[in-house]
Structure 1
Amino acid sequence: MPFGEQPAYLRVASDLRKKISDGSLPPHARLPSQARIREEYGVSDTVALEARKVLMAEGLVEGRSGSGTYVREVPSARRVARTGHWTMEECTPFRQEQSDERVRGTWESRSEREEASHETAERLFIEPGDTVMRTRYVFSVEGEPVMLSTSWEPLALTGRTPVMLPEEGPLGGRGVVERMAAIDLVVDNVTEEVASRAGRAEEMAELGGVPGHAVLVVARTYFAGKRAVETADVVVPADRFKLAYHLPVR
C-alpha cells in the first residue's frame, strides 16, 4: 500500500462517518446493509464488515438484535467544570465534583470499610491492608445519572470521629474540605490526573452507556500539607461529557 493511503475499510468507514455527521444518515436511521455497502463502494464482504465494525467501535452506530445496525443519537458533550478554588462554600459532594454553579444535581451513596489495595495505599501514602472508608457515589442531573465517584479515606485519620462516615453525622453530605477542617486538618492542595479507558460493564449499566465505550477517569487526591486525606476516582462517559478546568495563575 502506498505511503499515506488508507486501507479500503477505513475509506468506507470515513465516508459513512461523514454521512452520519452531515445528517445524510440521521440518528435512528438504519445503516446500509453489508451487501449494500459492498455494492455501493465496490468492496468485498470483509471490507464492508470491517467498516461497520469501525463505526460500531466509535459508538456512532449500534446493533439491534434481529433488526440491523442503526445510527446512534449522540448528545452534545455536557460540561463538567473543575476548578483550582477549593473552599467550604456550598461544598457538597456534588459541588466538589462539578464546580459549575449553573448545574444542580443530586447523589446517592454507600459507604463501607475495606482494606486498602496497593493502588489506594500508594495514593494515600499508607500501607496496603490498612483500613479505609470507601464511599461509592452516583451523581445525577435532572434524574439522569451523569457521573460516578469512588472515594477512599484512611480510618487512621477519621476513625472514631464525627466525620468517619462521609454521608452521616453532623457534617454528613458536606465536602472533604469542611469535614476535614472539623478534625483540625486544613486541606490546602489537591492533585488530579486525567486518563481514559474502556468503561466497565457495571459502570456503564449505572450510567446508561455501552460497555467498552471510553470513559474519562479523574484520579483526585486531597492533601492537608503533605498528608493525603482522601483520594477518589471520578468517572464520566467520554462521549457525553468534557472536562473544563479553571485554574488560578499565581
Structure 2
Amino acid sequence: MPRETPYLQVADALRDRIKAGEWAIGDKLPSRARIADEYRVGQSVAQRAMERLIIEGLLEGRAGSGTYVRRPRERLRMVRSRHRERRGGSPFRADMREQGKAGTWESRSTARVPAPEPIAERLAIAPGDPCVHTCYEFLADGQPVQLSESWEPMTITDGTPVVLPEMGPLAGAGVVERMRSIGVLIETAVEIPRPARATQHIANLLGISVGDLITEVERTYYDRSGRPVETADITVADVRWEIAYEFGIEQPDA
C-alpha cells in the first residue's frame, strides 16, 4: 500500500512521536477528534491510524476510556519437541518451569459431544460420533499464555478412569500419560501452525488487543497403529511467545 495513504501518514507521525517520548508508557493519547483536527483529516482516518498502531502493539484501546501507549511485553520462546513429551506429567507445566514460571490451567470438559465434521475428519471418525471436548486456559504465574480446545473420541476412553482429562487418577498428567495408562501408546504428534489475528473473544482471554497477531496450532496425536487419538486447536499470543520446533537428527550407523 503506498505510503501517501492518509491513515498511514498519520500512523507514521504518531509512531514517531511515541518513540520520541512525547507520550510515555501508560499515557492516554488525545481523542480521535483532536488527532483528526491536528492532522487535518477525517475522524475515520484518525481511527484507522490508531487501529494500525494497536495492531503493531504500540497502543491499546480500553473500552469506554480511550487509547493508551502500551507497555512492551516480554517475548519468550516456547519449544515444541519430542523431549517435551518424555518428561512425565504435564508438558506445559514442565515448559513453564524451564522458563522459571509456575504453569497452571483452568479447564472445562464435556462428555458425549458430537464431533463436528472438521474434527471428525481429523480423528478419522464419523461426524456426530461422541467425543470428550475440553477447553483450556493455560497460565504462567497467573497470566494467560495459551488456549486449547481438545477433542478425544469416546470409543477410546469411555468406561476408563481417564475419560475426563482433568479428573481421575491422572488428572492433569497430559494426553500421552493418560493414554499410556489404558494401553494406548502415542507415537507421533503432528502440528500445523498458522498465523491469525485475535478476535475480541480471543483478545479478552489472552489479555491482548483485538487484531494482535496470534499463532494457531492444529495438533493431532497418533498411536502406534497410526490411529488419531486426540486433536486440539492451540492458540498462542505472538506478541508474547514465539514457537520454536526442535528436531532430533538420526545418526548413520558407524
Identity level (%): 42
SS in 2 for 1:120: helix
SS in 2 for 1:235: strand
Deviation at 1:59, TM superposition (A): 4.1
Say yes or no: does 1:105 pair with 2:107. Answer: no
Aligned partners of 1:94 and 1:107 also within 8 Å: no
The corresponding residue for 2:89 is 91
SS in 2 for 1:13: helix
Deviation at 1:147, TM superposition (A): 1.6
1:99-248 map, 5 Å:
101-102=98-99, 103-113=101-111, 114-225=113-224, 226-248=226-248
**Aligned residues: CA RMSD:** 2.8
Ranges in structure 2 where 5+ consecutive residues have no aligned partner? none
Alignment: residue pair count: 246
Single out whichever of 239-248 and 158-167 deviates more from structure 2: 239-248
SS in 1 for 2:26: coil
The corresponding residue for 2:75 is 77
Say yes or no: does 1:45 pair with 2:42. Answer: yes
Aligned partners of 2:96 and 2:140 also within 8 Å: no
Single out whichever of 198-207 and 116-125 deviates more from structure 2: 198-207
Residues in 1 aligned to 2:231 and 2:242: alpha-carbon distance in whole angstroms: 21
SS in 1 for 2:137: strand
Residues in 2 aligned to 1:152 and 1:214: alpha-carbon distance in whole angstroms: 25
Aligned partners of 2:26 and 2:70 also within 8 Å: yes
Aligned partners of 2:96 and 2:102 also within 8 Å: no
TM-score by length of 1: 0.84
TM-score by length of 2: 0.82
Residues in 1 aligned to 2:19 and 2:141: alpha-carbon distance in whole angstroms: 28
Q: 1:197 to 1:175 in 2, by over 3 A?
A: same
Aligned partners of 1:219 and 1:232 also within 8 Å: yes
SS in 1 for 2:8: helix
Ranges in structure 1 where 5+ consecutive residues have no aligned partner? none
Q: Deviations over 1:54-105 (max 9, x none)?
A: 2234443234567543212231223322223354423315247x47623431
Deviation at 1:109, TM superposition (A): 1.6
Deviation at 1:112, TM superposition (A): 0.9
Aligned partners of 1:34 and 1:45 also within 8 Å: no
